[in-house]
């Protein structure tokens, strides 16, 4: 039995869960998430908990058991508390600003980099160098944060670029000068 898959998911107050044939819809204060469920997995609502079980002990059902439970738990957590990723910009002249809903990045290119957030994602900027990506879908939040970071990843000689908050960049020594 999957150690993760057999754990029940507690439904917090203010979150509504609706189980349909091959999907589960979770609605809360931060939005609505729809999680598709494979036919190898069954979902039951039992007194304030979601219980995920598998139909049989086939290899596919065993591999999907823990995954399905985690995806549903992430949806429940996301609609109640929201997920967030924080990014930092380092470098002279590098900065971020909001233009309406879009993120405008000045990253040393000859043009500004405009990032349009997908539906359900909010981007905020504090102090021109700190970016926060928030949303109810964990995967989408991570994808948007990775997309922003990919516009100018941190380089190893001076450490300039966009990095996750708390990310450590291993620095390289530059060229040794003439003697």
| Cα 125 to the center of its chain, rounded Å | 17
- pTM of the full structure: 0.87
Average pLDDT of the segment spanning 10-24: 91
Residue 29 class from Cβ within 10 Å (0-12 exposed, 13-18 middle, 19+ buried)?
Answer: exposed
What is the pLDDT at residue 76? Answer: 93
Do residues 162 and 107 lie in contact, with contact meaning Cβ atoms separated by under 8 Å? yes
pLDDT of residue 5: 84
Provide the token pair at 23: 């999907």
Q: So what's the pLDDT on residue 177?
A: 67
Read off the tokens for 86. 């924080």
**Cβ–Cβ contacts within 10 Å for residue 117, how many?**
18
Predicted confidence band of residue 173 (pLDDT cuts 50, 70, 90): confident
pLDDT score of 179 more than 80: no
């Amino acid at each position: 039995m999957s150690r993760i898959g057999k754990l029940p998911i507690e439904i917090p107050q203010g979150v509504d869960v609706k189980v349909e044939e091959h999907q589960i819809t979770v609605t809360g204060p931060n939005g609505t998430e729809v999680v598709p469920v494979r036919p190898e997995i069954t979902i039951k609502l039992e007194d304030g908990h979601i219980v995920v079980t598998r139909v049989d002990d086939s290899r596919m059902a065993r591999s999907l058991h823990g995954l399905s439970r985690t995806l549903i738990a992430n949806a429940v957590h996301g609609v109640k508390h929201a997920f967030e990723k924080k990014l930092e910009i380092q470098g002279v002249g590098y900065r971020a600003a909001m233009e309406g809903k879009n993120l405008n990045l000045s990253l040393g290119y000859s043009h500004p980099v405009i990032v349009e957030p997908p539906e359900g994602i909010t981007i905020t900027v504090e102090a021109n160098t700190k970016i926060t990506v928030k949303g109810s879908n964990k995967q989408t939040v991570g994808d948007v944060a990775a997309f922003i970071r990919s516009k100018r990843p941190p380089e190893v000689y001076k450490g300039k670029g966009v990095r996750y908050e708390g990310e450590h960049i291993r620095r390289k020594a530059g060229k040794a000068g003439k003697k």
